[in-house]
Amino acid sequence: MALGSFVLLLSLLGVLGLGDPGPLEDVVIDRYYIPKICLREVQMGDFIRYHYNGTFKDGKKFDSSYDRGATVAGVVGVGRLITGMDRGLQGMCVNERRHLIVPPHLGYGSIGVAGLIPPDATLYFDVVMLDIWNKNDKLQITTLSKPEHCNRTVENSDFVRYHYNGTLLDGTPFDSSYSKDSTYDTYVGTGWLIKGMDQGLLGMCAGEKRSIIIPPFLAYGEKGYGTTIPPQASLVFSVLLVDFHNPKDGVFLEHLEVPASCKRRAVTGDFVRYHYNGTLMDGTLFDSSYSRNHTYNTYIGKGYIIPGMDQGLQGVCIGERRRVVIPPHLAYGENGAGDKIPGSAVLIFDVHVIDFHNPADPVEMETVYRPEGCNVTTRNRDFVRYHYNCSLLDGTKLFSSHDYGSPQEVTLGTNKVIEGLNRGLLDMCAGERRVLIIPPHLGHGESGARGVPGSAVLRFEVELISMEEGVPEGYLFIWHGDPPENLYEQMDLNKDGQIPADEFSTFILTQVAEGKGRLMPSSDPDKVIADMFKNQDRNQDGKITAEELKLKSDEDQEKIHEEL
């Protein structure tokens, strides 16, 4: 109790040993609790809600709003209250508590209230102020926090998802979305909300927090709502806007990083490999390919992914980083997905495109250097030596012949290398350098290989070191002209009627040395000759007889006759 009020009260009530000071001339006000924060005080014409206990001087109660279980609501200073109450309530703050002493002439006077208040009764009131508003009040909006970047704000007809705590003006809670563990989801400006909330959400950014104080005539008015919101109650909402969209929204794209060189952009039917982080509009992560250490691989424009992502990946470049904002009607709709994507959620994907291709793509070849006077080029069955560097399109190094200190060796057209590399090595000159882009269907396919991801597009830098002319498929040796007459006799060097392995080898090497024929190119010609001897030594007795020796062309002709 303030000292002045205390002294005044003692003087009015009287103290043992002092005389009665006589009747009161005005209301005695004791402000025994004043809140630290008082945003507004009761003025003439304000509408108020309050609780009270009314007693006589002896403490006998004559009335109480608490006993009725309902607050008192009315307008101050317009004659609807007894004069003493009109005066005693002015200047009060919400949650302020006062003791009021109302003399008879400011109460019910010499008449009193039959059966309740005797004539010339002094009335004692204990009052707590719960609500104050005025018919001229407007919505009170306070921004508590706001994101640094806000590309868009709520407009009428938008669909919003928000969390809220709802209290009366005195702080009494009446509802909370947090207690339901779910956002409140609704359209704005279409009459689904109370008018004050419809207005209070306008202009908000996703992630913004606001305090919205709504006067009763923009809330539930004279009727209140259920047992939690009294009639004529001002409402205070603490709101966090989680996300919003409009049913007319399309996919929103933000190009975060686009490579300076973009020769090709993805279109419907392309197969794309990309990494992504998927978040809700408030930043909550719901999925990430990085956490699985594996790209997401799919065709675009064919309905294998949500429609918004199908649209959002159109036109991407290899290496591009793009943000794709997808409204729920192009994502998972009202039902959401699993326990991480709520119904009607806007989704944000930060995408990094690793590569893409089309199933109809050929090998892409770029000649970096070609020697002058290049007259001889590689063909299938040729034996080639080449250096290479192999990487993914994002620059990830996979393999290099330089790591082994020697060129790679292969006979082209023998399925010893992936088809795309075989094609890329054809029609090259010794010394020529190329860059090859090989789609997965000509590389390692959907399954990939050791160190190569599935469905990966490969980039090869190749340099042809040397080449040796090959022989037709199925041949190990061919003559440059007609084979010698009496071949068996010439091959039987010691004329003993049989040809062992050493004689066979000597003869073949002599033919090669004299330029009369050539072996299938190989890094191990002795093995090729050994395979030739094994093919001719049909009974595998270590020597070739005249009956066993046959040219491949003769064998092929015999097969034709057999088929005929």
Identify any residues that bridge with 49 across adjacent strands, giving them in sequence order. Answer: 73, 131
Do 28-133 and 477-563 agree at the fold level?
no
Q: Which of 426, 377, 387 is nearest to 408 (CA)?
A: 387
pLDDT at res. 24: 78
Q: Where are the alpha helices (DSSP H) in 167-275?
A: 195-200
Spell out the residues 6+ positions from residue 360 whose beta carbon is closer than 8 angstroms to its own. Answer: none
pLDDT at 449 over 90: yes
Residue length of the chain: 564
pLDDT at 8 over 60: no
Tell me the two tokens of residue 469: 């002319």
| CA–CA separation, 206 and 345 (whole Å) | 12
24 vs 323 pLDDT, higher one: 323
Task: Specify the 3-state DSSP secondary structure of 154.
Answer: coil
pLDDT at 88 over 70: yes
Tell me the two tokens of residue 543: 């020597």
Mean pLDDT score of the chain: 91
Tell me the two tokens of residue 460: 């090869």
Q: Which of 62, 217, 225, 252 is an active site residue?
A: 62
Match 């068996």 to its residue by tokens.
488
Q: Where are the alpha helices (DSSP H) in 14-90?
A: 65-68, 83-89
Mean pLDDT over 324-353 rounds to 96
Residue 299 φ then ψ, to 5°? -80, 150
Q: Which of 557, 536, 532 is nearest to 478 (CA)?
A: 532
Q: Which of 124, 125, 356, 388 is an active site residue?
A: 125
Beta strands in 513-561, from DSSP E residues, in sequence order: 517-519, 543-544
Q: Which of 29, 46, 48, 108 is an active site residue?
A: 108
- Within 10 angstroms of residue 395's Cβ, the number of other Cβ atoms is 8
Q: Which of 47, 50, 52, 477 is an active site residue?
A: 52
pLDDT at 6 over 80: no
Task: Specify the 3-state DSSP secondary structure of 559.
Answer: helix
**CATH topology (fold) of 477-563:** Recoverin; domain 1 (1.10.238)
H or E segment to which residue 130 belongs: strand 123-133
Q: Which of 75-79, 102-106, 314-318, 478-482 has the lowest mean pLDDT?
A: 478-482
CATH code for the structural domain at 364-468 = 3.10.50.40
Q: Report whether CATH 3.10.50.40 matches the domain 252-354.
A: yes
Maximum Cα–Cα distance across the chain? 162
Residue 276 is which amino acid? Y
Mean pLDDT over 69-79 rounds to 92
Delimit the domains of the chain by residue range: 28-133, 140-245, 252-354, 364-468, 477-563
| CA–CA separation, 494 and 370 (whole Å) | 50
pLDDT at 427 over 90: yes
Mean pLDDT over 34-44 rounds to 94
**Catalytic residue flag (residue 399):** no
Mean pLDDT over 219-244 rounds to 95
Q: b/e map of 397-423 (b: 16 or more CB within 10 Å)?
A: ebbebeeeeebbbbbbbeeebbebbbb
pLDDT at res. 472: 84
pLDDT at 21 over 70: no
| CA–CA separation, 144 and 530 (whole Å) | 88
| CA–CA separation, 61 and 503 (whole Å) | 135
Mean pLDDT over 259-267 rounds to 93
| CA–CA separation, 274 and 325 (whole Å) | 16
Q: b/e map of 46-75 (b: 16 or more CB within 10 Å)?
A: bbbbbbbbbeeeeeeeebebeeeeebbbbb
| 72 touches 49 (CB < 8 A) | yes
Q: Which of 26, 32, 56, 82 is an active site residue?
A: 82
pLDDT at 521 over 90: no
Spell out the residues 6+ positions from residue 326 whose beta carbon is closer than 8 angstroms to its own. Answer: 251, 306, 308, 309, 312, 346, 347, 348, 349
| CA–CA separation, 224 and 342 (whole Å) | 31
Residue 189 is which amino acid? G
H or E segment to which residue 400 belongs: strand 397-400
Mean pLDDT over 295-324 rounds to 97
Q: Which of 69, 124, 137, 64 is nearest to 98 (CA)?
A: 124
**pTM for the complete prediction?**
0.75
**Catalytic residue flag (residue 52):** yes
Task: Tell me the pLDDT band of 558, cut-offs 50, 70 and 90.
Answer: low
Integer angstrom CA distances of residue 304 from 2, 330, 519: 75, 13, 53
pLDDT at 18 over 60: no
Integer angstrom CA distances of residue 289 from 278, 354, 393, 449, 475: 9, 12, 18, 20, 50
Tell me the two tokens of residue 94: 């919400």
pLDDT at res. 555: 65
pLDDT at 248 over 80: yes
**Catalytic residue flag (residue 62):** yes
Mean pLDDT over 443-461 rounds to 95
pLDDT at res. 475: 84
Q: How far separated are the first and last CA of the chain, in Å rounded?
A: 126
| CA–CA separation, 306 and 333 (whole Å) | 10
Q: Where are the alpha helices (DSSP H) in 168-226?
A: 195-200
Percentage of the chain lying above the pLDDT 90 cut: 78
Q: Give the tens place of pLDDT for each residue, 134-175.
A: 999 999 999 999 999 898 999 999 999 999 999 999 999 999
Q: Give the tens place of pLDDT for each residue, 358-381.
A: 999 999 999 999 999 999 999 999
pLDDT at res. 483: 87
Q: Which of 63, 126, 350, 394 is an active site residue?
A: 63
pLDDT at 462 over 60: yes
pLDDT at 554 over 80: no
Q: Which of 377, 368, 366, 373 is nearest to 466 (CA)?
A: 377
- Which of the following CATH numbers is that of domain 28-133: 3.10.50.40, 3.40.1000.10, 3.20.20.70, 3.40.190.10? 3.10.50.40
Residue 256 is which amino acid? L
Q: Give the tens place of pLDDT for each residue, 206-227.
A: 999 999 999 999 999 999 999 9
pLDDT at res. 32: 96
**Catalytic residue flag (residue 63):** yes
Task: Tell me the pLDDT band of 557, cut-offs 50, 70 and 90.
Answer: low
Q: Which of 417, 526, 551 is nearest to 472 (CA)?
A: 551
- Which of the following CATH numbers is that of domain 140-245: 3.40.1120.10, 3.40.50.300, 3.10.50.40, 3.40.710.10? 3.10.50.40
pLDDT at res. 328: 97
- Environment class of 553 (CB within 10 Å of its CB; exposed 0-12, middle 13-18, buried 19+): exposed
Q: Give the tens place of pLDDT for each residue, 96-132.
A: 999 999 999 999 999 999 999 999 999 999 999 999 9
Mean pLDDT over 438-458 rounds to 95
